């Protein structure tokens, strides 16, 4: 360690205090103003205010002119301040959380006086002084009686508690345990917070000593011999004490004590644990989203530390790598001197680490060394900066603002040039009647002054209030989304949570949805359904995928869910009764038994058969080969009830199935595994555990059996286990087991192979030396350990295979069908096997029987290219060449041949290379469904990026775990599910909810509404500003272009701020074309958003031109009235002043802007005579068709009608003069047969009103009808394909 001349360490480390807020009290005002003036519009209006300080430009009052910009700045600052205050509050909650640290002990990694210079200058926070925050914490815990004194005792001892003096800095007393005189159980905590704060607690945790029986925790009494880093000959002061402090007070090099259910305050290397084997368990939900327990092991050299005295007598150096983001890699070396002989020793550090945000479980206490603090911890390095997402309309708005600004410069320049030319003329009336009005004698300078004056006068054409109005509207929209009870999920007590309020309109334009499968489409709750043992298949359960396949094959009547459940219940009773005759299974949980097989019970009962031995060996392997923890949460009430806590749902399901069949895993100690085999207890000595990871795809344990043999049990993916099987395994058995696994996969089940190997003593001893050497290596440790593990996992003997089902979430098939009907294409990115993914796809309506499914599976780039090109040729031969026209985005289900692609991970790796990427993009985007199997998190993000950037398409990603965060952040809209895999995905998402089915309403209702509202709001904003500004421009023609104000100046300032702000905000927040039920009943309406038809450049220019026309109306009609009429009021007084005329024009412009959307006639109920008479002329519903003729199928082809004589024919192009039944249609398109009421717009094409589109006149109302309502006989509609002409394709009459 490098030190300065005073012996103080040179290295300085980050504090453990973290801050995610952007501001402090001192920096808020300058920093917020700096950020707000990054917006060009704010700079523009600030410049206008500065110009108006000079009287030469003719402004009435600079203070009045500053009101709009001040209002916007203040409102935005308040909003930013409130948001940042909430972040700061959460930061403070984290930073002031309690932790136990070793006190009255010098940390050599920190200087004696670590204060910054200004604190030393002000003489505050002196080293060693107990701060107010720490003192308040200790007073709180002591005052609530939370200091618990625990005496070391055996089973059944009572826990004694006492309250300590709150002013003391130590937290110990009780029976001595070494020179320090304290037990680790003497430290108290009241923490029950979650990390980050605000999330629901993972479990109800009370104060220490209240919910846990600490009498069962055995304190390790330190030995007086030299153990690892402890040197008992070393003299110490003996003053070190455990003390309570705050998270933010921790420094690198501190020693911390963590207790069960506490969260880890910093990145910590484990020195010692309460377990005699040095193992501890933690939950990493806050870090990577996984809720399963993960084991960690203390360093061998420090595992004997058990008290403050041990720590004082320890001496070592930890060489650590610098901070980095990888959650699963850490490399360090512990160097120390052996106290016995003075030799230098070292030990490698890899997984011996706890990361900030993890929670300690099933471990009494942990002593750790802080290595990374605050912003250097992995949770903050991985948090990074959430990508800033801007909606599609917001990006287009920037262009429109620039266009308006350019238009402003043009009219200002035009006015200035004309004024300059006119001002340069001599002998004009101005020289006579208005002498001295020019600011200077130079025509050029006067023109420049006029230019600036026009900028001030025409300032409203650049809608500065648009941005704040949009924020208000999107806040209201986010509130509506959050309050939607249809998206509330009771099991998690959560509704849809909008986290990014600025992209709600993007929800109405999504073309591609990318989704994870496990935990997103499925429940991530595994059920052991089937197994194959020595070539014999057991399990009578029918999976959802099998039921879907039976339905597709026309055998749906054989698998009715009620009948199936009844038969399975009978079979389960038979199986349980058979097993009960053989032995008593005290630990069985019959209600959780999912492996239903009477044949299994019969075979295991027949002790004379070889199959009984194979079954016993198979389930014994399941009971032994795992890392599960067995807990008895209600031992007093239910002594035989076992609750398994596993690293994965798969492991819990396997061990649970073994328990229910008669092979329960009872518990695990330091080096023993206790199980029961058909009622008889067995104890296995655990020798080594080779853990599972995504690279190995297998896990193994080496145990010594009760008869003294050494056996290796292994379970893993079939491809990995099969290549390690012994040559002596019967080929017929291998073939039969392979066929069984294929059958399981075809049923949508997840498969694992189970195998074993018997080792000799010499084989094990030779291997364990190699493995220990690899584990202690300081370089390439992971590679060496994997190599050593692979050496022993050879010559395996096959026991059989397991099959687990991950059931679909409620409503998934209907949700996918609805999204398909909306024209949205779905891409599923999963880690399952190819065949399993296909069957799951069929069961959830992702894949359909009428789809042409192309399977891409190849192990080289050339083959991948050939398969992709073959797929493209196949699609081209049916659909023709692909179209990149944005107006043809989306698809109409059933309108043309449907294709789907299923691709495995290896092939996808080649497909994403630069050479093949364009080909794969063309292939995938022409398919309605794409299923990617065996994909990594990085491939998920690359796939989303490929489609988003390659097709400029709007994408949405849905995931539920940490490995989905990359694709969630890559998509235009990211959605996270709150579920069994934790909250990491939800924390990183733009929208968080509880179930996959909720995005249907989020997109089809809220998204569609938001898109239409924001689109209309933007257009109306530009329209109303053009009316106002150009009316002033017309006035300049009559006043020498000298920038004279037509309106009172307060009108100019308050036009956008007050006079016209509310109507457009109400439009953007509340407008509906149809209600929610109708939007869900007709998902096809959503395709307008996919094609971006609600907000286009043409629409923008049409609004601008309409504003130009309206400005001429509101100016020249009053002008003609004043010019041609008598400008006199009703009382005879003259109203010929500019104020009178300008106010009239201004009020007219305000009314024109505010009533632009409110000029439609009242709604007319369907069935009235007016409706019947008009209906012959009605154009198809505009939601179904637009000017670009969108081919969206409706309940009946809108161009076909049934006439009174029963004939079906084309709708007449125009209304006939005769009302005869043979020439005039008398029926209307039928009401959609949905079970609940809805509304629909009907607009006549012939009505020209004050609307922007001539074809969209007044609204008419369709009343509520239920499915039981019968329409009158003249209104009978064509149903299904009845009388449909051949020219009808995709809902469009050709």
Q: Which residues, in sequence order, are bridge partners of residue 759?
A: 710
> What's the angle, vertex CA 205, arms to CA 204 and CA 206, rounded to 5?
125
Burial class for 600, CB neighbours closer than 10 Å (0-12, 13-18, 19+): buried
Q: What's the distance, CA 579 to chain centroid?
A: 46
932/902 Cα distance (integer angstroms): 6
Nearest-5° angle of CA 1165, CA 1169, CA 1174? 85
Residue with tokens 């479980």: 361
Give dist(CA 674, CA 685) in Å, integer.
9
User: Of 376, 438, 505, 516, which is the active-site residue?
Assistant: 516
Distance CA 367, CA 389 (A): 43
Q: CA–CA separation, 1231 vs 936, rounded Å? A: 48
Q: Give which of 939, 965, 857 is closest to 903, Cα–Cα.
A: 857
Q: What residues contact 1054, with CB distance under 8 A and at least 6 apart?
A: 67, 68
Contact indicator for 516, 960 with CB cutoff of 8 Å: yes
Q: Which residues contact 182 (CB under 8 A, 6 or more apart)?
A: 170, 172, 173, 174, 176, 241, 242, 307, 308
Task: Tell me if residue 771 falls in helix, strand or coil.
Answer: helix
| CA 705 to each of CA 348, 412, 585: distance values in angstroms, whole numbers, following the listed order | 31, 93, 22
Is the CB of residue 644 less than 8 Å from the CB of residue 629?
A: yes
Q: Across the chain, which distance is largest between two alpha carbons, in Å?
A: 129
The upper half-sphere exposure of residue 883, i.e. CA atoms within 13 Å in the direction of its Cβ, equals: 9
Question: 474 near 498, Cβ under 8 Å?
Answer: no
Q: How far apart are CA 28 and CA 87, in angstroms?
A: 14
**C-beta separation of 321 from 378 below 8 A:** no
Helix (H, G, I), strand (E, B) or coil at 1119: helix
Q: Write out the DSSP string of 456-499.
A: HHTGGGS-THHHHHHHHHHHHHHHHHHT-GGG-BGGGTB--EES
Number of H helices, E strands in the chain: 39, 36
**What letter does residue 711 receive in the DSSP assignment?**
E
Scanning the structure block, which residue is given the tokens 């390790």?
A: 220
Token duo for residue 670: 């330091």
Angle between helices 392-424 and 443-457 (to 10 degrees): 150
> Is 516 annotated in the active site?
yes
Q: What are phi and psi of 118, to 5 degrees?
A: -70, -30
Which whole-number Å values give the CA distances from 1092 to 206, 396, 507, 1065, 1088, in the listed order? 54, 12, 12, 22, 6
Could you tell me if 93 and 194 are in contact, meaning their C-beta atoms sit under 8 angstroms apart? Answer: no
Q: What is the dihedral of CA 255, 257, 258, 259, to 10 degrees?
A: 170
3-state secondary structure at position 1184: coil
| CB of 1048 closer than 8 Å to CB of 1143 | yes
For 461-470, give one letter per residue: b (16+ CB within 10 A) or e: bbbbbbbbbb
The Cα–Cα gap between 909 and 935 comes to 9
Residue pair 190/207 in contact by the 8 Å Cβ criterion: yes
Q: What residues act catalytically?
A: 516
């Amino acid at each position: 360690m490098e030190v300065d001349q005073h012996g103080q360490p040179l290295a300085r480390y980050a504090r453990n205090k973290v801050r995610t807020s952007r501001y402090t009290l001192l920096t808020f005002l300058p920093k917020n103003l700096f950020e707000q003036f990054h917006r060009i519009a704010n700079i523009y209006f600030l410049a206008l205010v500065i110009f108006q300080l000079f009287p030469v430009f003719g402004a009435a009052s600079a203070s009045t002119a500053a009101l709009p910009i001040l209002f916007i700045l203040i409102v935005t600052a308040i909003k930013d301040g409130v948001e940042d205050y909430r972040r700061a509050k959460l930061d403070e909650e984290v930073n002031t959380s309690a932790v136990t640290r070793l006190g009255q002990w010098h940390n050599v990694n920190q200087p004696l006086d670590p204060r910054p210079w200004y604190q030393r200058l002000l003489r505050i926070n002196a080293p060693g002084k107990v701060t107010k925050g720490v003192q308040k914490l200790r007073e709180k815990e002591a005052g609530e009686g939370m200091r618990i004194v625990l005496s070391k005792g055996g089973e059944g001892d009572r826990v004694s508690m006492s309250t300590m003096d709150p002013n003391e800095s130590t937290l110990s007393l009780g029976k001595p345990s070494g020179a320090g005189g304290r037990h680790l159980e003497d430290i108290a905590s009241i923490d029950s917070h979650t990390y980050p704060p605000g999330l629901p607690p993972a479990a109800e945790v009370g104060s220490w000593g209240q919910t846990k029986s600490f009498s069962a925790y055995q304190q390790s009494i330190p030995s007086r011999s030299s153990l690892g880093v402890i040197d008992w000959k070393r003299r110490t002061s003996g003053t070190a004490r455990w003390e309570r402090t705050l998270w933010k007070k921790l420094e690198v090099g501190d020693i911390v004590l963590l207790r069960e259910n506490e969260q880890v305050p910093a990145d910590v290397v484990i020195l010692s644990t309460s377990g005699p084997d040095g193992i501890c368990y933690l939950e990493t939900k806050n870090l990577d989203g996984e809720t399963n327990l993960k084991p960690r092991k203390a360093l061998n050299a420090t595992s004997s530390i058990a008290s403050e005295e041990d720590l004082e007598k320890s001496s070592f150096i930890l060489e650590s790598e610098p901070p980095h983001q990888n959650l699963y890699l850490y490399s360090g070396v512990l160097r120390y001197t052996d106290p016995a002989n003075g030799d230098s020793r070292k030990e490698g550090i890899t997984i011996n680490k706890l990361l900030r945000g993890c929670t300690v479980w099933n471990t009494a206490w942990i002593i750790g060394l802080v290595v990374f603090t605050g912003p250097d911890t992995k949770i903050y390095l991985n948090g990074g900066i959430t990508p800033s997402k801007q909606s599609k309309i917001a990006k287009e708005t920037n262009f429109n603002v620039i266009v308006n600004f350019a238009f402003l410069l043009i009219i200002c320049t035009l006015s200035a040039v004309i004024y300059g030319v006119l001002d340069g003329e001599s002998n004009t009336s101005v020289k006579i009647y208005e002498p001295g009005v020019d600011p200077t004698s130079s025509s050029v300078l006067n023109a420049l002054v006029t230019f600036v004056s026009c900028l001030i006068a025409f300032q409203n054409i650049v809608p500065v209030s648009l941005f704040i109005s949009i924020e208000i509207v999107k806040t209201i929209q986010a509130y509506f989304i959050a309050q939607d009870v249809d998206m509330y999920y009771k099991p998690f007590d959560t509704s849809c949570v909008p986290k990014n309020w600025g992209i709600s309109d993007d929800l109405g334009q999504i073309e591609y949805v990318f989704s994870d499968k496990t935990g997103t489409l499925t429940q991530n709750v595994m059920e052991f359904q089937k197994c194959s043992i020595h070539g014999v298949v057991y399990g009578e359960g029918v999976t959802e995928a099998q039921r879907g396949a039976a339905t597709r094959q026309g055998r749906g009547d054989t698998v009715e869910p009620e009948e199936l459940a009844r038969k399975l219940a009978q079979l389960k009773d038979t199986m349980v009764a058979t097993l009960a005759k053989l032995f008593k299974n005290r630990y069985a949980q019959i209600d959780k038994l999912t492996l239903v097989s009477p044949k299994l019970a019969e075979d295991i009962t027949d002790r004379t058969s070889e199959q009984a031995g194979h079954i016993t060996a198979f389930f014994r392997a399941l009971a032994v080969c795992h890392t599960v923890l067995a807990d008895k949460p209600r031992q007093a009430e239910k002594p035989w009830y076992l609750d398994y806590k596993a690293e994965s749902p798969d492991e819990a399901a396997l061990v649970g199935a073994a328990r229910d069949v008669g092979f329960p895993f009872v518990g695990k100690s330091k080096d023993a595994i206790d199980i029961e085999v058909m009622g008889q207890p067995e104890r296995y000595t655990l020798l080594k555990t080779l853990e599972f990871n995504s690279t190995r795809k297998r896990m193994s344990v080496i145990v010594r059996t009760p008869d003294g043999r050494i056996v290796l049990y292994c379970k893993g993916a079939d491809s990995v286990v099969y290549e390690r099987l012994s040559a002596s395994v019967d080929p017929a058995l291998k073939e039969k087991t392979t066929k069984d696994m294929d059958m399981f996969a075809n049923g949508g089940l997840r498969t694992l192979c189970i195998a074993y190997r018997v080792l000799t003593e010499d084989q094990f001893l030779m291997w364990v030396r190699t493995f220990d050497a690899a584990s202690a290596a300081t370089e390439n440790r992971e590679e060496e350990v994997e190599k050593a593990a692979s050496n022993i996992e050879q010559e395996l003997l096959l026991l059989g295979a397991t099959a687990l089902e991950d059931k679909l979430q409620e409503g998934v098939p209907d949700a996918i069908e609805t999204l398909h009907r909306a024209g949205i294409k779905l891409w599923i990115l999963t880690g399952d096997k190819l065949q399993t993914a296909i069957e799951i796809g069929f069961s959830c309506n992702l894949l359909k029987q009428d789809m042409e499914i192309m399977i891409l599976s190849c192990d080289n780039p050339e083959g991948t290219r050939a398969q992709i090109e073959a797929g493209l040729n196949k699609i081209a031969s049916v659909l023709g060449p692909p179209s990149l026209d944005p107006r043809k985005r989306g698809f109409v289900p059933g309108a043309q041949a449907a294709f789907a692609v299923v691709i495995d991970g290896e092939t996808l790796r080649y497909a994403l290379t630069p050479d093949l990427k364009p080909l794969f993009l063309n292939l995938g985007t022409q398919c309605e469904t794409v299923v990617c199997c065996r994909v990594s998190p990085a491939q998920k993000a690359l796939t989303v990026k490929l489609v988003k950037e390659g097709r400029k398409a709007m994408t949405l990603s849905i995931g539920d775990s940490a490995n989905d965060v990359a694709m969630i952040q890559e998509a235009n809209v990211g959605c996270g599910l709150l579920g069994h895999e934790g909250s990491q995905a939800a924390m990183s998402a733009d929208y968080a909810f509880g179930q996959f089915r909720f995005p249907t309403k989020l997109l089809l209702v809220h998204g569609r509404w938001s898109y239409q509202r924001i689109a209309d709001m933007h257009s109306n904003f530009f329209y109303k500003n053009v009316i106002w500004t150009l009316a002033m421009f017309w006035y300049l023609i009559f006043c020498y272009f000298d920038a004279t104000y037509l309106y009172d100046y307060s009108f100019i300032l308050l036009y956008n701020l007050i006079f016209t702000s509310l109507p457009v905000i109400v439009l953007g927040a509340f407008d509906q074309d149809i209600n929610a039920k109708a939007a869900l009943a007709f998902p096809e309406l959503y395709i307008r958003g996919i094609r971006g038809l609600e907000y286009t450049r043409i629409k923008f220019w049409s609004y601008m031109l309409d504003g130009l026309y309206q400005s001429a109306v509101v100016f020249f009609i009053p002008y003609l009235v004043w010019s041609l009429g008598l400008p006199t009021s009703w009382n005879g007084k003259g109203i010929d002043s500019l104020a009178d005329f300008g106010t009239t024009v201004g009020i007219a412009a305000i009314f024109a802007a505010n009533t632009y959307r409110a000029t439609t006639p009242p709604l007319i109920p369907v069935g009235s005579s007016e409706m019947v008479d008009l209906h012959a002329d009605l154009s198809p519903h505009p939601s179904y068709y637009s000017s670009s003729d969108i081919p969206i199928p409706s309940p009946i082809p809108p161009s076909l009608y049934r006439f009174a004589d029963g004939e079906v024919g084309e709708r007449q192009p125009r209304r006939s003069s005769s009302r005869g039944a043979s020439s005039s249609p008398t029926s209307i398109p039928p009401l959609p047969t949905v079970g609940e009421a809805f509304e629909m717009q009907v607009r006549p094409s012939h009505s020209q009103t004050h609307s922007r589109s001539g074809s969209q006149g007044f609204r008419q109302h369709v009343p509520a009808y239920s499915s039981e309502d019968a329409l009158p006989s003249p209104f009978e509609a064509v149903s299904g394909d009845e009388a449909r002409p051949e020219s009808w394709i995709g809902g469009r009459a050709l």
